[in-house]
Structure 1
């Protein structure tokens, strides 16, 4: 559900009653929830294998959205074609990236995973140039792409053998971010203008992603012999808050302040993820990590430029960061700035 994120044209969002809580507070809460997702993944994998963490995340996230759909009495999408496209979107925006980030964090710090997540807009720009004929490159965006990937190399300490980071784990985190971008491009091309609400599309997407994981997980894992409280609570929070409740927050922000402002959450996620990893998990960082992360964010911002946003569509439902128009943790298919 990306990025989701976390990343277009102004989506057609139905009028909503202005919430009592100021949008800036909800924006800050969303940044914290998505930023802490990487810490929760790390804690969850201390007791459960990555696929189990992902499945649990999907189950709890889906439960939240389905419950909201039931309360609002909104119908699920109709048509085999729509459900088929949603199944593909669920794979690229939920099942695959969620699983890859979980596997990556077996060998890399949660701080690095959070920073890799911020590369989604960079991947998204590359893919949008190839797959979206109306999305032409500009000099500013090409420069941003180069700056962004230079920032990735800085984070990894490429001049000194990648600073001891595990290559396999790092590649999995980067591929997870690429998957968000692929899913975002796919959603824009296949699910825009379906006439269904963002909530219904997102809930359906998560439901399909949960079904996919429910079929795959038993084939590659065995049932847990124990359920330690802290990892279990981490998985529950990752799903219910980081995937379900976070989407509802983003949906409300987009309706109130628009997709451009809501998408700015993308640039706070790696900051929160880094702070959480260092302060809570005691992960060590060197100077190149925050400096490289800043360079990545500058490059990502430049790649976005001033672009028109696409119309209505599905929600990215990444559960993680919404992603930018160019590319998560899993936003809306009409909202992205993700993450």
Structure 2
């Protein structure tokens, strides 16, 4: 009887985490079409700045209620916040939005699959224990072959807006991945939600400064139901609620396991982009996504297998 009860608890926990994982993929995957809708009525940096103004305050409140360590007090804390505030928000979101304005939400979502690969590359460069092996080289080679397939212009001119948009997103993904590795190496003492909150507020402030510097103006904003719903969805669902779910999962599962969601929400984005905007992807880009996922799987195969094995052993204890 006890065994069945224990088994039902394990099954219930696994089912709940699976539902949360799928929910996280849906919330983050649908952020790209929401940005696409907002871009018709609001400049990209302003969208990102307003989004992270609101979410930063929400996340700070979450950190105050859910954690004890929310005030930065060490050099590591400051480094983590500054790294996140510069690389995660202005680079990871602001530049990404500018790039998406020049391409499509479907392609933008697809290029999110670059994040785990680039994070692994920066970790390989900056963390000694992640240095090269034959398996790592094979994974990196396959992954970058996929990157090239995603970036190739196809039938479009070499220097078209679409290519510029891809390159901006490419640079954004590199910067965001670097930020994630630097934050892990910063040895901060405050909680992850607190680092996230302070980084969002710092990044939002920087984007408010950069927005007029690149020619954006409040006069470019059109307030209507579409932009209010789009920015509201981005703020409440795709960020505040999504990060709450992310941190909930992070308390029970490994970061490696959870971050595999990056390979699921591009699928959500592609479907949503097709339904809402009639967007389609060229076959080379889809093939590139498959190679990127395969390259990451090879690069981190041992870590993934070890984490899944640890999870199974914990579940059966």
Structure 1 length as normaliser, TM-score?
0.77
Tell me: CA distance 1:212–1:98, structure 2 relative to 1, closer, same or farther (3 Å). same
- 1:90-129 maps to which residues of 2 (within 5 A)? 90-129=85-124
- 1:51-62 maps to which residues of 2 (within 5 A)? 51-62=45-56
For residue 78 of structure 1, the aligned residue among 59, 66, 72 is 72
For residue 132 of structure 1, the aligned residue among 127, 151, 154 is 127
1:229 aligns with 2:225: yes
* Structure 2 Cα separation of the partners of residues 127 and 143 of structure 1: 16
For residue 292 of structure 2, the aligned residue among 272, 291, 296 is 296
1:257 aligns with 2:253: yes
**Residues 280-326 of structure 1, C-alpha deviation per residue, up to 9 Å, x if partnerless?**
22112233332222222111222223249xxxxxxxxxxxxxxxxxx
* Structure 2 Cα separation of the partners of residues 294 and 216 of structure 1: 36
**Ranges in structure 2 where 5+ consecutive residues have no aligned partner:** 1-11, 305-317
Tell me: CA distance 1:115–1:78, structure 2 relative to 1, closer, same or farther (3 Å). same
Task: Give, in angstroms, the shift of residue 265 of structure 1.
Answer: 1.1
Q: Is the 8 A contact 2:69 2:189 kept in 1?
A: no
* Structure 2 Cα separation of the partners of residues 254 and 73 of structure 1: 14
Tell me: CA distance 1:236–1:252, structure 2 relative to 1, closer, same or farther (3 Å). same
**Ranges in structure 1 where 5+ consecutive residues have no aligned partner:** 1-17, 309-339
For residue 149 of structure 1, the aligned residue among 124, 144, 151 is 144
Q: Is the 8 A contact 2:84 2:196 kept in 1?
A: no
Q: Is the 8 A contact 2:94 2:207 kept in 1?
A: no
Match for residue 192 of structure 2?
198
1:177 aligns with 2:170: no
Report which stretch shifted further, 32-41 or 113-122: 113-122
Report which stretch shifted further, 153-162 or 292-301: 153-162
Q: Is the 8 A contact 1:77 1:201 kept in 2?
A: no
Regions of 4+ moved over 6 Å: 18-21, 162-165
Q: Is the 8 A contact 1:121 1:304 kept in 2?
A: no
- 1:10-21 maps to which residues of 2 (within 5 A)? none
**Residues 257-294 of structure 1, C-alpha deviation per residue, up to 9 Å, x if partnerless?**
33333222121021111111112221122333322222
Q: Is the 8 A contact 1:143 1:299 kept in 2?
A: yes
Task: Give, in angstroms, the shift of residue 176 of structure 1.
Answer: 0.9
* Structure 2 Cα separation of the partners of residues 59 and 20 of structure 1: 34
Match for residue 279 of structure 2?
283
Match for residue 29 of structure 2?
35
Residue correspondences, number: 289
Q: Is the 8 A contact 2:93 2:172 kept in 1?
A: yes
Larger radius of gyration between Structure 1 and Structure 2: 2
* Structure 1 Cα separation of the partners of residues 283 and 218 of structure 2: 41
Q: Is the 8 A contact 2:142 2:295 kept in 1?
A: yes
* Structure 2 Cα separation of the partners of residues 20 and 300 of structure 1: 24
What value does the CA root-mean-square deviation take over the aligned residues? Answer: 2.5
Report which stretch shifted further, 36-45 or 295-304: 295-304
Match for residue 323 of structure 1?
none
For residue 187 of structure 1, the aligned residue among 183, 188, 193 is 183
Task: Give, in angstroms, the shift of residue 216 of structure 1.
Answer: 2.7
